[in-house]
Amino acid sequence: MGINLNPFTWWTGASWGTMLYGLRGMAQMGTDQLGNVYYEGGKDGSGRKRRWVIYEGANDASRVPPEWFSWLHHHIDDVPDRALPPVRAWQKPAIPNMTGTPLAYRPSGSLEKGGKRAAATGDYEAWTPEG
């Protein structure tokens, strides 16, 4: 099913048309740790070079690491490997948006956690306009 769907879909990765025609004349600038490939070439309406990402896997913008996000949006001029300092040992790697997955954040009291929340402590006093 994947090979038959690829010419027509964009949500499961780049279509054949993008790979054959859309990236013609574009220079490959780099690859991130998730396998996304970044391109640059052509000009946009304001005269800046256009920058592109071809996702490895599902097209999800939260899967672009912060350093490549900066490059895509022209916050830095050169690719992150040359423009930014090396990653520090204490820095955690970026993670994609986990909404809709089993790893999503679910606070206590949410339906996915059983719908039970801690009892009120009694120190809450509701506001009334007369008070």
Residue 14 pLDDT more than 80? no
pLDDT of the residue at 1 = 45
Q: Is residue 52 part of a domain?
A: yes
Q: Is residue 46 part of a domain?
A: yes
What pLDDT digit, counting tens, does each position of 22-32 carry?
677 788 999 99
Whole-angstrom distance, CA of residue 65 vs CA of residue 70: 9
Average pLDDT of the chain?
82
In percent, the amount of the chain with pLDDT more than 70 equals 82
Instruction: Provide the whole-model pTM.
Output: 0.68
What pLDDT digit, counting tens, does each position of 83-130 carry?
999 989 999 988 888 888 889 988 888 888 777 777 777 777 788 898
In percent, the amount of the chain with pLDDT more than 90 equals 28
Q: Is residue 130 part of a domain?
A: no
Q: Is residue 115 part of a domain?
A: no
pLDDT of the residue at 110 = 83
CB burial string 22-46: b at 16+ within 10 A, e below: ebeebeebeebeeebbbbbeeeeee
Residue type at position 85: P
Find the domain containing 35 and state its range.
2-105
Neighbouring residues of 13: CB distance < 8 A, sequence distance ≥ 6:
6, 54, 55, 56, 57, 58, 59
Out of 17-21, 55-59, 120-124, pick the least confident.
17-21
How deeply is 7 buried, as exposed, middle or buried, from its count of CB atoms within 10 A (0-12, 13-18, 19+)? exposed
Q: Is residue 42 part of a domain?
A: yes
The tally of domains found in the chain comes to: 1
Residue 3 pLDDT more than 60? no
